[in-house]
């Protein structure tokens, strides 16, 4: 013992103890270690406080190093005893309880404290930050006694706190100074989508709002804002950023700025004193996420062990909001700026937004909303700084299955053993390797063993890749995934639950099947609405509030908030009479643009919401479902009616198909086409179902797609008559309706289940007829939503100026 150097650490938090773990590994027995912690606990995972608050995780689950770990490693731990002074001359520290400890090496790892706005009334009871277990307890206690909570700050912490408080049964208003939530991580488009989802979960927001004071007797009772308005609040949580703990260092004469100044080896300006974690300022930056802090810890541990090491050069960071039902990821630069180029993909129907930011030929930032699967792959590319020239669109639209960056064997071979795979829990590649060597064969088992992927979940694709890398064919199925983060149940389990228990409403399904997220989210609500309607077409009452905006308004909402009207022109075949009606309406309502669509229809664009019922009434044509998850259009060529190559009546067949299946609800949109000969002018082989005439017969192709990823349709069958075309189409569409997941286009479905299984199901005549009977029944219940609106004054109210449910951001917020 005598020969050991004395290492004293101030702060018993995530970054500091992580550094000590490394020191113990690379230099066992070198130091006699003493740790002072201000909190009365062993080292715990602060990140998981959000999960504790939201429910489902107990405090006992978040301990990283329990009491016995300190004992086993001969670490002298003083908890609940903050250090109050550092004497750099005599190399000793003094604590609140009067303890003194000499050091040879001193580690400053005091983290940060919540920044508390210096508002009048900020010292009242019920005004807190969200930083530690104590704050968690305060919020839980308050939720038992009071109803109204206000969270100041709409960043990561504020939103996670707000979600937790909602789960505790409080009404929550988030007061945010910017126009956009998470303005430090998201651009306006993704931020608006996030806001919409959180509003649906029950949060309310006051944006661009400045708090002036907190009023109340002893306890907070209300917030008063600079514009004079106010908000009742029995609990006020400040989540407006953090302040590195530098007071002790400053008083001792150690160099400080915003944080404690360190060089690339985490050395302060005073010999033998180092700083690590949120309290350290490196190259002008203080970090507030654990991944960079763990990187700092690795360098520092090697330095303390006297090992050769490259210095810490700073980190690019990524963040993922830990709110159930919301997938948001942000990494690197996300705002447009001179010298940067960006690519975006925005789908306001399925609520998916992706943006990547490039500098020259390198990826420097990404924002994902709704689908964050590629987050870790994009982050790997940002960190590597390699050229992505020529691959930009692939990066934006998603990596083809099995090709994700970070999933290749070469990448895992090159990955250093101590590279952090799970930033939230500090799990390295080596730790995952050891877990697999120890018998883990699924992501769930690795999660239970190492905690990798247990917090924000952003590392899951990497963990899966590593599991595959280490376990190869022995790797079992990944952790069981539900249809969204609100439930662990798969589509099949939900459908059999609905059938077996006779569940009949979205709410009932969520209650009976035990949804983790009581209100569901924008992914599961419409999916349940569809499954219920598909299972019981005759009795299920469609829940309009579970549908996306376009389907609620029965019109296609446009970028500028106006709508478009696409009259149903069966088979793309019109007449002078129909055209005259369209022209008259377009002129009367000053429609700014009339355009032919890709599906051979006329699109009246730029229509005001309040003009929609009038236009529908005057057109007196069914409005086409040019939106929504249903049959869109049947495109046709002229066929043998006029074309000298035509072998069959393509127009007639197209019109029949469109009339047969219009208004059909489906898991995703469905597009059809009919070509009169194999020259295929209607491009039938890139449609969900394409019919191509050959001599004396028709070929039916399925699973085609001309969208993001072009997929050629595959031949399902060849039939002789028009009746058989209708029959097979009906059977195929119903089989797709019953088997595919919500939101799954036929191209993906066919690829997933394989054409052969579909062929086998439809080849059985009895099965085919049964499918036809079921689709016929479903179609018999469909109604004309436009007529209903025209004829029902109550429904028309939704279309009055400022009527209905619309808010300024509604186009971003489909339900």
Q: Name the minimum Å distance from CB 490 to ligand NAD.
A: 27
Return the SS3 of 420. Answer: strand
How many residues does this entry show for the chain?
Answer: 815
781 vs 80: CA distance, rounded Å: 68
Which of positions 619-638 make contact with ligand SF4 (CB under 6 A)? 637-638
Spatial neighbors of 408 by CB under 8 A, at least 6 apart, are: none
Q: Name the minimum Å distance from CB 248 to ligand FAD.
A: 6
| CB-closest chain residue to ligand FAD | 13
Stretch that binds ligand NAD, among 236-244, 438-446, 716-724, 733-741 (CB under 6 A): 236-244
Long-range contacts of 332-340, Cβ-Cβ distance < 8 Å, separation of 24 or more: 332/357, 332/363, 332/364, 332/365, 332/366, 332/382, 333/357, 333/359, 333/364, 333/365, 334/185, 334/186, 334/187, 334/365, 334/366, 334/367, 335/187, 336/187, 340/364, 340/365
Q: Work out which of 423, 646, 667, 703 binds ligand SF4, going by CB under 6 A.
A: 646
With beta carbons less than 8 A apart as the criterion, state whether 675 and 693 touch. Answer: yes
Q: How many CA atoms lie within 13 A of 387 on its CB side?
A: 4
Q: Name the minimum Å distance from CB 318 to ligand FES.
A: 8
Q: Name the minimum Å distance from CB 19 to ligand FAD.
A: 9
Decide which of ligand FAD, ligand NAD, ligand SF4, none touches 321; Cβ closer than 5 to 8 Å per partner kind. ligand NAD
Decide which of ligand SF4, ligand FES, ligand FAD, none touches 675; Cβ closer than 5 to 8 Å per partner kind. ligand SF4
Which of positions 180-219 make contact with ligand SF4 (CB under 6 A)? none
Q: Which two tokens stand for residue 694?
A: 């050959």
Q: Name the minimum Å distance from CB 381 to ligand FAD.
A: 20
Stretch that binds ligand SF4, among 125-133, 268-276, 455-463, 643-651 (CB under 6 A): 643-651
Q: Work out which of 679, 720, 752, 769 binds ligand SF4, going by CB under 6 A.
A: 679
With beta carbons less than 8 A apart as the criterion, state whether 609 and 799 touch. Answer: yes
Identify which of 231, 311, 296, 217 has the alpha carbon closest to the alpha carbon of residue 264: 311
Q: Name the minimum Å distance from CB 815 to ligand NAD.
A: 25
Q: Name the minimum Å distance from CB 674 to ligand SF4.
A: 9
Q: Name the minimum Å distance from CB 117 to ligand NAD.
A: 5
Q: Cβ closer to ligand SF4: 48 or 650? A: 650
Q: Should residue 423 be labelled a site residue for ligand FES when binding is judged by CB under 6 A? A: yes
Q: Name the minimum Å distance from CB 732 to ligand SF4.
A: 22
Q: Cβ closer to ligand NAD: 187 or 611? A: 187
Q: Work out which of 299, 422, 509, 812 binds ligand FES, going by CB under 6 A.
A: 422
Q: Name the minimum Å distance from CB 169 to ligand NAD.
A: 22
Q: Determine the straight-line distance between the first and last CA of the chain, rounded to whole angstroms.
A: 66
76 vs 60: CA distance, rounded Å: 22
Which of positions 457-476 make contact with ligand FES (CB under 6 A)? 457-459
Spatial neighbors of 287 by CB under 8 A, at least 6 apart, are: 278, 293, 315, 317
User: Which regions of 170-229 does DSSP assign to beta strands (E)?
Assistant: 171-175, 204-206, 211-215, 222-225
Q: Work out which of 639, 654, 785, 814 binds ligand SF4, going by CB under 6 A.
A: 639
31 vs 5: CA distance, rounded Å: 5
Q: Should residue 424 be labelled a site residue for ligand FES when binding is judged by CB under 6 A? A: yes
User: Which regions of 255-374 does DSSP assign to beta strands (E)?
Assistant: 260-262, 273-275, 280-282, 318-320, 328-332, 340-347, 352-359, 362-369
Q: Should residue 690 be labelled a site residue for ligand NAD when binding is judged by CB under 6 A? A: no
Q: Name the minimum Å distance from CB 108 to ligand FAD.
A: 9
Q: Which two tokens stand for residue 55?
A: 């429910």
Q: Should residue 744 be labelled a site residue for ligand NAD when binding is judged by CB under 6 A? A: no
With beta carbons less than 8 A apart as the criterion, state whether 157 and 163 touch. Answer: no
Stretch that binds ligand NAD, among 99-107, 157-165, 327-335, 696-704 (CB under 6 A): 157-165
Percentages helix, strand, coil for the chain (3-state, rounded to 5) are 35, 20, 40
* b/e map 633-651, b = 16+ CB within 10 Å: bbbbbbbbeebeebbbbbb
Find the helix packing angle between 156-167 and 133-145, rounded to 10°.
40
Q: Work out which of 178, 243, 430, 505 binds ligand NAD, going by CB under 6 A.
A: 178
Q: Name the minimum Å distance from CB 748 to ligand FES.
A: 27
Q: Cβ closer to ligand FAD: 53 or 509? A: 53
Residues engaged in binding ligand FAD (CB under 6 A): 10-16, 36-39, 46-47, 49-50, 82-83, 109-111, 130-131, 157, 245, 248, 277-278, 288-291, 293, 322, 423-424, 455-456
Q: Cβ closer to ligand FES: 112 or 317? A: 317
Sheet bearing 211-215, strands edge to edge: 211-215, 222-225, 230-232
Q: Should residue 498 be labelled a site residue for ligand NAD when binding is judged by CB under 6 A? A: no
Decide which of ligand NAD, ligand FES, ligand FAD, none touches 459; Cβ closer than 5 to 8 Å per partner kind. ligand FES
680 vs 668: CA distance, rounded Å: 24
Q: Should residue 288 be labelled a site residue for ligand NAD when binding is judged by CB under 6 A? A: yes
* Region of 251 on the Ramachandran plot (φ > 0 left; ψ -120 to 50 alpha; else beta): alpha
Q: Cβ closer to ligand FES: 33 or 54? A: 54
Q: Work out which of 459, 586, 681, 700 binds ligand SF4, going by CB under 6 A.
A: 681
Decide which of ligand SF4, ligand FES, ligand FAD, none touches 730; Cβ closer than 5 to 8 Å per partner kind. none
Which of positions 427-486 make contact with ligand SF4 (CB under 6 A)? none
Q: Which two tokens stand for residue 650?
A: 């393509």
Q: Work out which of 107, 260, 366, 456 binds ligand FES, going by CB under 6 A.
A: 456
Spatial neighbors of 480 by CB under 8 A, at least 6 apart, are: 444, 488, 490
Q: Name the minimum Å distance from CB 699 to ligand SF4.
A: 12
Identify which of 730, 734, 736 has the alpha carbon closest to the alpha carbon of residue 755: 736
| CB-closest chain residue to ligand SF4 | 676
Backbone dihedral angles phi then psi of residue 101, each to the nearest 5 degrees: -140, 130
How many of the chain's residues bind ligand NAD (CB under 6 A)? Answer: 27
590 vs 586: CA distance, rounded Å: 6
Q: Should residue 646 be labelled a site residue for ligand FES when binding is judged by CB under 6 A? A: no
Q: Should residue 638 be labelled a site residue for ligand NAD when binding is judged by CB under 6 A? A: no
Q: Cβ closer to ligand SF4: 642 or 781? A: 642
* C-beta atoms surrounding 437 within 10 Å: 10
Q: Should residue 677 be labelled a site residue for ligand SF4 when binding is judged by CB under 6 A? A: yes
Q: Should residue 175 be labelled a site residue for ligand NAD when binding is judged by CB under 6 A? A: yes
User: Which regions of 676-789 does DSSP assign to beta strands (E)?
Assistant: 689-694, 697-702, 714-719
157 vs 682: CA distance, rounded Å: 53
Q: Cβ closer to ligand SF4: 528 or 684? A: 684
Residues 30-59 as x/- pattern, contact with ligand NAD by CB under 6 A:
------------------------------
Stretch that binds ligand FES, among 450-458, 551-559, 698-706, 709-717 (CB under 6 A): 450-458
Q: Work out which of 38, 143, 456, 466 binds ligand NAD, going by CB under 6 A.
A: 456
Return the SS3 of 435. Answer: helix
Token pair 């990944």 is at which residue? 478
> In the complex, which residues of this chain contact ligand NAD (CB under 6 A)?
117, 152-158, 160, 175-178, 183-184, 211, 239-242, 288-289, 319-322, 456
> In the complex, which residues of this chain contact ligand SF4 (CB under 6 A)?
637-639, 643, 645-646, 650, 675-677, 679-681
> In the complex, which residues of this chain contact ligand FES (CB under 6 A)?
422-425, 452-459
């Amino acid at each position: 013992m005598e020969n050991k150097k004395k290492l004293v650490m101030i702060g018993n938090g995530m970054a500091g103890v992580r550094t000590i773990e490394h020191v113990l590994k690379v230099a066992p027995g070198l130091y006699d270690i003493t740790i002072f912690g201000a909190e009365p606990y062993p080292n715990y995972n602060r990140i998981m406080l959000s999960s504790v608050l939201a429910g489902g995780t107990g405090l006992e689950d978040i301990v990283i190093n329990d009491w016995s770990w300190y004992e086993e490693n001969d670490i002298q731990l003083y908890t609940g005893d903050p250090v109050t002074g550092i004497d750099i001359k005599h190399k000793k520290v003094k604590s609140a309880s009067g303890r003194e400890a000499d050091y040879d090496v001193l580690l400053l790892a005091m983290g940060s404290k919540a920044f508390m706005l210096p508002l009048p009334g900020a010292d009242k009871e019920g005004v807190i930050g969200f930083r530690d277990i104590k704050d968690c307890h305060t919020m839980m206690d308050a939720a038992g006694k009071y109803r109204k909570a206000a969270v100041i700050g709409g960043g990561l912490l504020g939103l996670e706190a707000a979600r937790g408080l909602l789960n505790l049964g409080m009404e929550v208003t988030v007061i945010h100074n910017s126009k956009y939530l998470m303005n430090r991580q998201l651009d306006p488009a993704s931020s608006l989508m996030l806001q919409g989802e959180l509003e649906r979960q029950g949060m309310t927001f006051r944006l661009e709002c400045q708090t002036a004071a907190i009023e109340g007797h002893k306890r907070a009772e209300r917030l008063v804002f600079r514009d004079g308005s106010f908000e009742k609040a029995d609990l006020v949580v400040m989540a407006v950023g953090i302040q590195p703990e530098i007071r002790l260092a400053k008083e001792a004469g150690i160099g400080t700025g915003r944080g404690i100044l360190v060089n690339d080896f985490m050395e302060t300006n005073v010999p033998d004193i180092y700083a690590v974690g949120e309290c350290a300022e490196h190259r002008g930056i203080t970090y507030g996420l654990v991944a960079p802090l763990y990187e700092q810890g690795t360098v520092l541990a090697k330095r303390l062990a006297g090992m050769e090491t490259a210095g810490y050069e700073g980190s690019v960071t990524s963040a993922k909001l830990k709110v159930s039902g919301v997938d948001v990821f942000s990494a690197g630069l996300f705002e447009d700026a001179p010298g940067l180029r960006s690519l975006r993909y925005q789908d306001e129907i399925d609520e998916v937004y992706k943006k990547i930011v490039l500098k020259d030929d390198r990826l420097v930032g990404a924002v994902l909303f709704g689908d964050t699967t590629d987050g870790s792959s994009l982050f790997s590319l940002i960190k590597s700084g390699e050229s992505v020239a020529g691959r930009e669109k692939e990066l934006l639209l998603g990596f083809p299955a099995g090709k994700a960056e970070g999933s290749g064997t070469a990448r895992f071979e090159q990955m250093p053993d101590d590279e952090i795979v799970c930033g939230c829990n500090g799990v390295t590649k080596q730790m995952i390797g050891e877990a697999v060597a120890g018998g883990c064969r699924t992501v769930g088992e690795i999660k239970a063993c190492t905690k990798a992927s247990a917090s924000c979940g952003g590392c899951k694709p990497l963990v899966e890749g590593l599991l595959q890398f280490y376990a190869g064919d022995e790797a079992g199925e990944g952790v069981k995934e539900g249809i969204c983060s609100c439930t662990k149940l798969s589509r099949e389990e939900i459908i059999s639950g609905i059938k077996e228990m006779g569940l009949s409403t979205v709410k009932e399904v969520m209650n009976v099947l035990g949804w983790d997220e009581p209100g569901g989210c924008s992914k599961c609500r419409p999916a349940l609405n569809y499954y219920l309607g598909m299972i019981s077409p005759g009795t299920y009452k469609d829940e309009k509030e579970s549908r996306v905006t376009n389907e609620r308004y029965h019109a296609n909402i446009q970028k500028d908030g106006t709508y478009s009207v696409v009259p149903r022109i069966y088979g793309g075949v019109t007449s002078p009479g129909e055209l005259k009606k369209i022209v008259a309406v377009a002129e009367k309502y000053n429609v700014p643009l009339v355009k032919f669509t890709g599906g051979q229809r006329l699109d009246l664009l730029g229509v005001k919401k309040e003009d929609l019922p009038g236009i529908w009434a005057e057109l007196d044509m069914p409005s086409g479902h040019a939106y929504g998850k249903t049959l869109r259009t049947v495109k046709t060529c002229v066929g043998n009616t006029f074309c000298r190559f035509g072998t069959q009546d393509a127009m007639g067949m197209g019109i029949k198909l469109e009339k047969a299946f219009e208004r059909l609800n489906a898991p995703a949109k469905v597009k059809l086409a009919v070509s009169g000969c194999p020259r295929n002018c209607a491009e039938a082989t890139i449609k969900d179902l394409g019919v191509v005439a050959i001599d004396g017969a028709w070929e039916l192709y399925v699973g085609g797609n001309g969208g993001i990823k072009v997929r050629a349709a595959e031949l399902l069958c060849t039939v002789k008559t028009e009746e058989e075309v209708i029959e097979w189409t009906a059977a195929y569409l119903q089989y797709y309706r019953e088997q595919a997941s919500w939101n799954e286009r036929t191209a993906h479905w066919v690829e997933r289940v394989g054409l052969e299984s579909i062929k086998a199901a439809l080849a059985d005549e009895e099965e085919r007829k049964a499918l036809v009977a079921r689709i016929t029944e479903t179609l018999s219940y469909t109604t004309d939503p436009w007529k209903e609106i025209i004829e029902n004054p109550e429904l028309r109210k939704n279309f009055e100026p400022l009527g209905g449910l619309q808010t300024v951001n509604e186009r971003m917020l489909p339900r």
